[in-house]
Amino acid sequence: MGAGVKPRVAIVGGGFGGLYAAQTLTHADLQITLLDRRNHHLFQPLLYQVATAGLSPGDIAYPIRAILRKQKNVRVLLAEVVSIDTGRRLVHLKDGELGYDFLILATGARHAYFGHEEWEINAPGLKSLEDALEIRRRILLAFEKAERATEEARRCALLTFVIVGGGPTGVELAGAIAEIARQVMVSDFRAINPREARIFLVEAGPRILSAFPEELSRAAEEALTKLCVEVKTNCPVTSVEPGRVGLGEDRYPAATVLWAAGVMASPLAKSLGVPLDRVGRVLVEPDLTIPGHPEVFVVGDLAAFTHQTGKPLPGVCPVAIQQGRHAARNIVRASAGLPLEPFRYWDKGNLATIGRAHAVADFGRFKISGFFAWLVWLFVHIFFLIGFRNRFIVLFEWAWAYFTFQRGARLITGDIDRYNRTPSL
């Protein structure tokens, strides 16, 4: 780059990593381009609430260009990135290309089926707003179809929900579906009793919430059991077919199977030509760059950062936020001729919520579960949500749901004809 020409920074992905990187560069003398194939930043920690009819898509998403409106050194482009040419320092778009001096790659991960991609159609996962609306449609449709079912066996299958994966997303989905069945819908039907719905949370490992201390796993399991969720640990899924799921040796009828069991990094990682881990994440250097390219940073769910504990940091927002900020600061250092600094994750704790007014929280020495943990969960999530409007509406929706036992977004939307095409129903 010539003297007087501002270095060009390309940020790919407007999730937590990319967005916080861009915001950290507010006062930097750089030309920044943030690329995303969506027009909105998505607050993924609350996506399960869109899937379970508690919130609307607009409540947890915010237009990226509106967030960065006042930051004049950033332009935001809606574009799909297909590959990175690190040799020529080019981002290849579906319809064009973009040169860079520094690159931050923050394209995240999708859910994965590890060799059983054919399961996806019968067991959708939860990563985008579209996923959330598809899951919402399936949950609500199952009750609607059960109300009309004439055979007992079909009604039972329609009222059976299997959530695969005992991590925070699986726990949150199971708790919310139990609430819908046992509280929200309870007087809405004439032929069925929604309380008869069975909700299974199945986990291949020995306990749910395995990233949490054992005592909190136990507390979460107890809380779920109280909500009548049947928790099955050491229970690998062996098949997923329309209307049926295999658990171990047995096959159970279940119209709705939801997948919260695994992730796979964005395929963009492959185009970097550097070593990836088993789930496709980039094995980054201690300073978050990739081997041989000190101008290319990878952050968030796309990065496998193993230099702190020996195993990769978890795919959670705080890691993405801290890495995005760190990569941005390293770019400022590099453009000032200073050496890059290694990243260090500051683990502030771990939270998961279980249905109505119950959560578990792990702050190292300090572990809590129950109502107070839920209040902590609530305020942390409201705090990180972007925009006054979204905070206000989400708080209102929660208060309303808390006092009325209702949910504000019980809509089945989408192509009418899909109602009958949905394979598992």
Give me the catalytic one of 80, 97, 152, 172. Answer: 172
* Number of helices and strands in the chain (H, E): 11, 25
Q: Which helix (H) or strand (E) holds 264?
A: strand 263-265
**Strand, coil or helix: 287:** coil
**Candidate list 7, 125, 165, 408; residue touching its own copies; CB under 8 A:** 408
Report the C-alpha gap between 339 and 331 in whole angstroms: 10
DSSP state of 116: -
Report the C-alpha gap between 184 and 245 in whole angstroms: 26
Strand boundaries in 332-408, DSSP class E: 350-353, 359-363, 366-370
Examine residue 389 and tell whether it contacts its own copies (CB under 8 A).
Answer: yes
Examine residue 406 and tell whether it contacts its own copies (CB under 8 A).
Answer: yes
Query: Which residue's CB is nearer to its own copies, number 87 or number 150?
Result: 150
Alpha helices by DSSP H, listed for 254-340, are 317-335
Spell out the residues 6+ positions from residue 225 whose beta carbon is closer than 8 angstroms to its own.
Answer: 231
Residue 117 designated active-site: no
Query: Which residue's CB is nearer to its own copies, number 64 or number 328?
Result: 64
Contact present, 42 and 128 (Cβ < 8 Å)? yes
Examine residue 291 and tell whether it contacts its own copies (CB under 8 A).
Answer: no
Q: Which of 18-26, 159-167, 186-194, 360-368 is the region at the interface with its own copies (rule: CB under 8 A)?
A: 186-194
* Minimum CB–partner distance for residue 80 and its own copies (Å): 7
**Candidate list 6, 8, 37, 329; residue touching its own copies; CB under 8 A:** 37
Examine residue 414 and tell whether it contacts its own copies (CB under 8 A).
Answer: yes
**Candidate list 187, 310, 336, 423; residue touching its own copies; CB under 8 A:** 187
Q: Which of 117-125, 260-268, 367-375, 388-396 is the region at the interface with its own copies (rule: CB under 8 A)?
A: 388-396
* Minimum CB–partner distance for residue 378 and its own copies (Å): 18
Examine residue 267 and tell whether it contacts its own copies (CB under 8 A).
Answer: no
Asked whether the CA dihedral 235, 239, 243, 244 is positive or negative, the reply is: negative
The size of the interface with its own copies (CB under 8 A), counted in residues, is 57
Name the nearest CA neighbour of 139 among 176, 193, 93, 192: 176
Examine residue 77 and tell whether it contacts its own copies (CB under 8 A).
Answer: yes
* Minimum CB–partner distance for residue 156 and its own copies (Å): 19
Examine residue 70 and tell whether it contacts its own copies (CB under 8 A).
Answer: yes
Examine residue 311 and tell whether it contacts its own copies (CB under 8 A).
Answer: no
Examine residue 135 and tell whether it contacts its own copies (CB under 8 A).
Answer: no
Report the C-alpha gap between 10 and 99 in whole angstroms: 8
Largest CA distance in the chain: 77
DSSP per-residue letters across 21-82: HHHHTTTSS-EEEEEESSSEEE-GGGHHHHHTTSS-GGGSEEEHHHHTTT-TTEEEEE--EE
Contact present, 233 and 205 (Cβ < 8 Å)? yes
Examine residue 61 and tell whether it contacts its own copies (CB under 8 A).
Answer: yes
Report the C-alpha gap between 121 and 174 in whole angstroms: 19
Examine residue 412 and tell whether it contacts its own copies (CB under 8 A).
Answer: yes
**Candidate list 27, 88, 94, 365; residue touching its own copies; CB under 8 A:** 94
Residue type, 354: I
**Candidate list 59, 134, 285, 301; residue touching its own copies; CB under 8 A:** 59
Examine residue 396 and tell whether it contacts its own copies (CB under 8 A).
Answer: yes
Report the C-alpha gap between 304 and 75 in whole angstroms: 28
Examine residue 39 and tell whether it contacts its own copies (CB under 8 A).
Answer: yes
Examine residue 190 and tell whether it contacts its own copies (CB under 8 A).
Answer: yes
Q: Which of 11-19, 52-60, 151-159, 331-339 is the region at the interface with its own copies (rule: CB under 8 A)?
A: 52-60
Query: Which residue's CB is nearer to its own copies, number 226 or number 389?
Result: 389
Do strands 293-298 and 303-304 pair parallel, antiparallel, or not at all (unpaired)?
unpaired
* Minimum CB–partner distance for residue 55 and its own copies (Å): 8
Examine residue 365 and tell whether it contacts its own copies (CB under 8 A).
Answer: no
Q: Give the chain's end-to-end CA distance (angstroms, integer).
A: 58
**Candidate list 24, 44, 49, 56; residue touching its own copies; CB under 8 A:** 56
List residues near its own copies by CB under 8 A: 37-40, 56-59, 61, 63, 65-66, 69-70, 75, 77-80, 94-96, 129-130, 133, 140-141, 144-145, 147-148, 187-191, 388-390, 392-393, 396-397, 400, 404, 406, 408-416, 419-420
Which residues does the annotation mark as catalytic? 172
